[in-house]
Amino acid sequence: MAIFEKARGLDSVNLMEVCGTHTMSICKSGIREMLPEHINLISGPGCPVCVSPKSYIDKAIAFSRLPDVILATFGDMLKVPGSNSSLAEERANGSNVKVVYSCLDAVDIAEKAPDKKVIFLGIGFETTSPTVAASIVYAHKKKLKNFFVYSGHKIIPPAMKMLVADNDINIHGFICPAHVSAIIGTLPYKAINIPCVIAGFEPLDILQGILMLVEQLASGETKVENQYKRIVKDHGNKKALDLLKDVFKVEDSDWRGIGVLPKSGMKLSKRYSMFDAEEEFHLPKIKTMPDKGCICGSILKGIKKPSECALFAKKCTPEKPQGACMVSSEGTCAAYYKYRR
């Protein structure tokens, strides 16, 4: 295969993907086993549910316990364990927690239930945050007073930059996320300064992306290439980017297992602060308990594999998850549990 040929003269190569959908696709298709031994595919922090800190879950749980609140959330947040509970447990105990497919559904719920306060959990990278921004603009136009967003949105390129600088990991190239790139385009990856290829999610897309990275490494080039031209344009999606600039402002953000990264998160801008759940509701101080034995942090950085975790597939399973990486449909541990045990 072409990858074998191009990789012949190279030393050990570490390629990281930072998109949960890539993690799943790689595990499901068995791509790792098809590659030469010295090409290592590392799963990075590509799952926005997994990189949300435990304190975010604890606060979401606290919001759900407030009177007259409907907590609206994407499905994979439901089972993520907080310090003492999860949203699924809170729902079982009588809290009004609704799973929605889109933030627009949460706006609909708020419109139809004016006596309730709807708080939407804004989790996701740049593919999702514009959909939340657009929904907030709709709520603004409808003059809704009972719709709020608790933003935990994050931006991927700052995390990629941090990972490159980390000597424990030693990344030589990135497989860049497909639909995040449809929004942000190719420009934000240039500042990372290592080979980057944006690749689609099909196994053939990913293999072609890996080939393009190996070709760059073999020729000593460093550039940003786009394998997913059928969707991704260099300039990204201007309408989505303009909405993000209007509705959100960039701030420092806490990433599970990584710590606080500067300018890597999104909070509602001043113009839309009336929709910010953290501005509207004042919760008592919450004490977040540290993880017991869960090594999600090391897994998210690609330093350890799920099989190296003492809890994996024993105490920690999809039915009884100990950390976010096992719960989320795109978590590295969930992928390994499903396809690589």
Partner 1 sequence: MCLAIPMKIKKIEGNRAIVSSGSVERRIAIDFLTNSKIGDYVMVHAGFAIEKLDPKQAEETLEILRRI
Cα separation values, 281 from 148, 179, 184, 185, 315, Å: 10, 33, 32, 36, 36
Largest CA distance in the chain: 67
122 near partner 1, rule: CB under 8 A: no
Taking contact as CB under 8 A, which single stretch among the options 47-55, 62-70, 162-170, 309-317 is the one that binds partner 1?
47-55
Q: Which CB, 122 or 323, lies closer to partner 1?
A: 122
Q: Which CB, 106 or 163, lies closer to partner 1?
A: 106
User: In whole angstroms, how close is the CB of 294 to partner 1 at the nearest point?
Assistant: 21
Q: Which CB, 25 or 95, lies closer to partner 1?
A: 25
131 near partner 1, rule: CB under 8 A: yes
- Residue in 40, 55, 83, 102 binding partner 1, rule: CB under 8 A: 102
Q: Which CB, 21 or 146, lies closer to partner 1?
A: 21
User: In whole angstroms, how close is the CB of 265 to partner 1 at the nearest point?
Assistant: 17
Q: Which CB, 124 or 302, lies closer to partner 1?
A: 124
183 near partner 1, rule: CB under 8 A: yes
Dihedral, CA atoms, 203, 205, 209, 210, nearest 10 degrees? 20
Local structure of 167: helix, strand or coil: coil
Contact 248, 129 (CB under 8 A): yes
Q: If we measure between CA atoms, which residue out of 32, 44, 94 comes closest to residue 64?
A: 94
Q: If we measure between CA atoms, which residue out of 290, 294, 295, 299 comes closest to residue 331?
A: 299
User: In whole angstroms, how close is the CB of 125 to partner 1 at the nearest point?
Assistant: 8
127 near partner 1, rule: CB under 8 A: yes
- Please, which residues have CB within 8 angstroms of residue 276's CB and are 6 or more apart in sequence? 148, 149, 151, 267, 268
Applying CB under 8 A, the residues found at the interface with partner 1 are 19-21, 47-49, 74, 76, 101-105, 124-125, 127-128, 130-131, 134, 177-180, 182-183, 201-202, 230-232, 237, 239-240, 243, 328-330
